[in-house]
Structure 1
Amino acid sequence: MTVYLHEGDLPDGLDLGPEVAIDSETMGLRFRRDPLCVVQLSSGNGDAHVVRMSRPDYDCPNLKRLLADPKVLKLFHFGRFDIGMFDLHLGVETRPVYCTKIASKLARTYTDRHGLKDVARELAGVDMSKAQQSSDWGSPVLSQAQLDYAASDVLYLHAIKAKLDLMLEREGRAELARACFDFLPTRSRLDLAGWDEIDIFAHA
């Protein structure tokens, strides 16, 4: 595994293929309080690219182009948050997308454990460490432990997706999953607009 650190943006000419695993690190989990600090990506080849964002201007045309590219499927785990952060700070709508957490909830109904650590252990045979999850991602210098943690969040999403796709097909829920993925950017926009805790589809 090689982890490439980039300052501010992805390098010109980098081709990560038709399916790119993406995650982000922030200073917290509140959209308008906590800034976007790091975006990590992997093509599924065992390497990861970690972009330390340039704040507050977020001038990253290559990353923005990739997020909006209709020919590149973006793989997330709990993409709802990342997509919202990209919309808020980068001004781009991320499409098309695939969320392994949604896929897990639709396919792995025999469990209520759908966090990435649990899904990766079962479907990819990987025991992930979450020790750096709450570290200072706004630091001007990222530690090797932080870089390795950021990379781990994207390195296994392609393998997890492959297993979940088989399960979704087996259970007859692949089409339902695709409809959920298509709706996900809209769900993120609802979060940003103030409907993050309200289910507008509920009767009450």
Structure 2
Amino acid sequence: MTNTLYLNDLPDTLDLGPVIAIDCETMGLHPHRDRLCLVQLSSGDGNAHLVQIMKGQTEAPNLCRLLADPQVLKLFHFGRFDIAAMLNAFGVLTAPVYCTKIASRLIRTYTDRHGLAKLLQELLSVDISKQQQSSDWGAPKLTKAQIDYAASDVLHLHKLRDALNVMLLREGRMEMAQACYDFLPMRAKLDLDGWPDTDIFAHA
């Protein structure tokens, strides 16, 4: 397993294939206030590619082309936040997407625990550490522990998607899940544009 860190953008020649796992690290949980610091990606081959985003950076052409490429499926866990963070930073709306948290909420109705660590433990027997989750991602130089933690959030999403799809197919909820994934980029845009906590479908 290799974790490769790049500054500002992905290299021109990198090809990660048609299905890519993506996650983000930010300075906090409010995209308008807390800047994007790191974007990590994996093709599912056991390697991670991490892009460190500098303060004030508004462009990452290679990364943005990938995010908007209709031929590349982007896998997330809680994609709603990551899509919004990258839209706020770069002005690009990520699509098409798949979200393992949405899949989990639709199919694992026997539990209210849908965090990535719990999912990986239950479905793949993989344990990951969340110790670095609240560290300073805006630091000029990231530690090895931070890089390893960030990589762990994308290395297993391909297999997790496969396991969740088995359950979705078994219970007849794949079509419902796909409709939710299709709406997810707009849900992230609604968050940024002022409707983060409003149920726009509610009668009241």
TM-score (normalised: structure 2): 0.98
Letter in 2 for 1:152: S
1:117 and 2:117 matched: yes
1:92 equivalent in structure 2: 92
Cα deviation for residue 59 of structure 1 reads 2.5
Q: How far does residue 54 in structure 1 lie from its aligned partner after superposition?
A: 2.6
Q: CA deviation at 1:57?
A: 2.4
Structure 2 gaps of 5+ residues are none
1:35-81: CA deviations, max 9, x gaps?
00000000000000011013312331100000000000000000000
Aligned to 1:73: 73
In the TM superposition, residue 193 of structure 1 has moved relative to its aligned partner by 1.1
Q: Which residue of 1 aligns with 2:200?
A: 200
Q: What amino acid is aligned across from residue 75 of structure 2 in structure 1?
A: L
2:177 matched residue in structure 1:
177
AA partner of residue 9 (structure 2): D
Q: Which runs of 5+ in 1 are unaligned?
A: none
How far, CA to CA, are the matches of 1:192 and 1:134 in structure 2?
A: 22
Q: Secondary structure at the match of 1:147?
A: helix
- How far the C-alpha of 1:93 sits from its partner, in A, is 0.8
* Identity fraction in percent: 64
Distance 1:58 1:41 in 2: 19
Alignment of 1:1-204 (within 5 A): 1-204=1-204
Cα distance in structure 2, aligned partners of 1:107 and 1:17: 28
- Rounded to whole Å, the distance in 1 between the matches of 2:11 and 2:58 is 15
Q: How many residues align?
A: 204
Whole-angstrom distance in 2 between the partners of 1:58 and 1:14? 21
> Structure 1: which amino acid aligns with 2:196?
D
Cα RMSD between the aligned structures? 0.7
- List structure 1 segments (4+ residues) > 6 angstroms apart after TM superposition: none
| Greater mean deviation of Cα atoms: 50-59 or 100-109 | 50-59
